[in-house]
Chain A
């Protein structure tokens, strides 16, 4: 008898989500869907507000990566006030923003990997949920947990020093930045915040390297799981610096197919509408973007750390470049399509962010006083950025009175919508085929797949160890066959 399993709610992806898994008469998975059922409406309610409020307003989209939305909107506003499209700022403004952004990437990647994903790896995805959480990590791997906390703190302090606050600051303004970095702050970040050498730039680099070593060590004993779990071929899209380098703050749009062939060839970010289009499906509030030329069936793509490393030619910092070469060699130069390798890519980017932060801190431009540039006003601004979880598109139109009249946002989670659905399906096929009973490890496997892309979907699980979750099995007629709940 055909069945449908519902996992609801999958928490904290822009609110509330659920997963349904459809089984046929033989308990074979026929289809899985990740439903995003919460409607937020940011694109509508920024309309009518003055444009200089946008960078501060839209960062409320997210509590983990507010800086990314702040900067993407600020970049759009740069264009609007005639300060170029990402390259026209004063050196202090551009570098302060970069420092803010790399601090954000660093803290978010650390949070994502250590706090949310590592319990699955350290204890196994079918371990007792009472242990498989961040508290379990602290108890069993105290030193590692301590490092993770300090690494996250370092990134957060960088954000506070550049944006004014750790969460929801105001640093970037249209055309620039509202402060520079004091020498006092610079020295603290280089030598250790509050004199603590564990909170220094070099320590961050060292610990990021150690995190990669930890993952590779895990990989050597769990190769089949990491390589096989929710693996499927896809296109990959990200920004790259015009010379092909990984650049998370600004660049041109590039995409490659599963074989590594260029399918979007370094398009100016202002022309993003010539590259992507979005499809609406009846069962989700989240749209499905795809590369226009390839159409919705073939054009869907992945974004985020894995995609970025598949798309760029090199990483412009030596230690991360060495790690990148190893990563590329593993798939013999071809794009890596293994969902769990998001974590590997994420840690390479963590190392890169640590290296970039140090390089920026040593740059005297950060103490410059020329903060804002303005030129000829225009009515439209487009800002693209690589957020921790992938490419962000921010697009605004503004009327003569300075009020926003149109806003289009394609956020990382949206870009990864189709891949996340596929990852959920792959996990469901692997875990649930032939089974009629819902078990906790089965549910967690689905979450592990989502978590490789986006912790916002599931952070409650591992932060507290009790994610509110409901799984319901339906037969073809819609009657409930089985129901499991946890944390509700």
Chain B
């Protein structure tokens, strides 16, 4: 599992859904796809942009929503480096149904009440649920008992909505590099913990960055709810996947 990705200048040729594309050796299938304007869904992987303040792309490989078939085998597109002659299947009925299942499982496993969630309209999980047309529940709700941590003066951490993607763990650090969030326990007991002392002292900008990086409404700026009217939220105009990362900048940091 790679967390940051090194690339070289060697050129690799592969196909995604029958389309021949070229990529630099060391890039992941996801990066190669993004560079060529092909959409592969992501939840845990995040492309570095000015907006999110990341130095380089991250790919914790925790969510598996990016699952593609490589030469017939299912692999995570965000963690699999490209290789010469790869035949990648991506936008197929079978894979999209698999992705829908992952989304559904994330919904029943946490406690999501989108109507009152500040992230509604800007939430990646919700946007994927729309994309894959999640309608009535197929799985039984787990009704997990999750705590809300409101100790920090700037952030509200709502574990009910956390999908354990690990973005916050990898991406949100103090200026001197200390982690603000960490993973705890295992299996169905897994969870995210905050370093309360460090989180207490974060700046406005960092609080904003943390909210931005979390793909769902688990990390929320306090007292900032619902400031963005309908129509102006992230996915109001363009549903998720209708655009990929800028295709002219080679998927590099903009």
Contact = CB atoms under 8 A, between A and B. Distances in A.
Nearest to B231: A164
A49 B116 CA distance: 10
Nearest to A52: B225
B230 A50 contact: no
B125 to A, nearest CB: 18
B179 to A, nearest CB: 23
Nearest to B116: A57
A81 B220 CA distance: 18
Contacts of B151: 401
Interface of A: 48-50, 52-53, 55-57, 60, 81, 164-165, 168-171, 173-174, 178-179, 401-403
Contacts of A55: 226
B197 interface: no
Contact of B226 (A81, A178, A401, A403): A178
B229 A403 contact: no
Interface of B: 113, 115-118, 148, 150-151, 156, 220, 222-231
- Most chain A beta carbons < 10 A, residue from B220, B222, B223: B223
13 contacts: A50-B148, A50-B225, A56-B116, A57-B115, A60-B116, A170-B226, A170-B229, A173-B225, A174-B223, A178-B226, A178-B229, A179-B229, A401-B150
B223 A402 contact: yes
Contacts of A169: 230
A299 B230 CA distance: 44
A169 B115 CA distance: 9
Contacts of A50: 148, 150, 156, 220, 222, 225
Nearest to A48: B148
Given A48-B148, A50-B150, A403-B150, A173 B116 contact: no
Given A53-B118, A401-B150, A401-B151, A164 B229 contact: yes
A52 B228 CA distance: 13
A403 B148 contact: yes
A403 B148 CA distance: 9
In terms of DSSP, what is the predominant structure of the interface of chain A?
Answer: loop
Contacts of B222: 50, 402
Nearest to A374: B223
A168 B114 CA distance: 12
Contact of A81 (B117, B156, B223, B227): B223
A314 B220 CA distance: 46
A178 B229 CA distance: 6
A451 B207 CA distance: 50
B116 A171 contact: no
B83 to A, nearest CB: 48
A57 B120 CA distance: 13
B195 to A, nearest CB: 17
A56 B115 contact: yes
A48 B111 CA distance: 14
Nearest to A50: B156
Contacts of B226: 52, 55-56, 170, 173, 178
Given A60-B115, A170-B226, A179-B229, 4 more contacts: A49-B148, A50-B220, A53-B118, A171-B229
Nearest to B150: A401
A168 B230 CA distance: 11
A81 to B, nearest CB: 7
Given A60-B115, A403-B150, A52 B230 contact: no
Contact of B156 (A173, A174, A179, A402): A402
A1 B151 CA distance: 65
Nearest to A58: B116
Contacts of B117: 53
B223 A53 contact: no
A394 to B, nearest CB: 15
A402 B151 CA distance: 9
A371 B9 CA distance: 52
The 6 residue pairs across chains A and B that have the minimum distance between CB atoms: A164-B230, A52-B225, A401-B150, A57-B116, A179-B229, A170-B226
A52 B224 contact: yes
A56 B120 CA distance: 12
A89 to B, nearest CB: 15
Nearest to B223: A52
A173 B229 CA distance: 10
A415 B225 CA distance: 31
A53 B220 CA distance: 11
A56 B115 CA distance: 7
A50 B225 CA distance: 9
- Most chain B beta carbons < 10 A, residue from A52, A56, A174, A403: A52
